Amino acid sequence: MKRPGLHEMTYIGVFAALMTALGYVEIPLPFSPVPITGQTFGVMLAGSLLGSRLGFLALAVFDLIGLVFPVFAGGSGGPGVLAGPTGGYILSWPLAAWVIGRLTEQVPRPSFFRIFAANVLGGILVVYALGVTQLALVTHLGLVPAIIKGALPFIPGDLIKCAVAALASQRLAVLLPFRKDKQNFA
């Protein structure tokens, strides 16, 4: 993997800070140990704006920062959070950003609908697969109750986040100097 330059490291840092700020957008649900947060929106933006490599690095850096500092939803942090019921969601974010970035990089003209589909595949399916799995294992709920508590209530909001992230990244990608494909954004 190519070492990021100064400008790329700046984008990685900005997205780590953005993820921290989006963690303060938190709505606890009384029936689930998983809150609604703005951080999945940040994952979608990181993948679709920064691309697979930088999106992955930004979210990996964010996860590493969270081992020491309280940057996760609601001002939490530390290894206990990553080992807890919501840890699978958080740990999935670098992979999710990579998938989103990879899918948007593979198409000649990443239209709104293509970016939206990439956000659904990476930002919902990847995140839910890893998040629900860890939720089921840590809480001993079983897979179906974990899906009911850790995925189903979030689908409508996450689809809205996918749409907003697709629209925002489509508009903002042309401003990023490192995007080789920025002229391709419709």
pLDDT in tens, 87-134: 999 999 999 999 999 999 887 678 899 999 999 999 999 999 999 999
Tokens of 103: 């899918």
**Residue 61, C-beta contacts closer than 8 angstroms, at least 6 positions apart:** 12, 13, 16
Give whole-number Cα distances, 132 to 61, 101, 108, 111, 115, in Å: 23, 22, 33, 30, 24
Convert the pLDDT of each residue in 155-171 to its tens digit: 999 999 999 999 999 88
Helices (H), 23-126: 39-45, 51-68, 79-83, 87-105, 112-118
Convert the pLDDT of each residue in 8-51 to its tens digit: 899 999 999 999 999 998 888 888 888 889 999 999 999 999 99
CB 178 within 8 A of CB 55: no
Tokens of 74: 């609601």
pTM of the model: 0.90
Whose CA is closest to 121, among 105, 144, 97? Answer: 97
CATH of domain 6-174: 1.10.1760.20
CB 65 within 8 A of CB 59: no
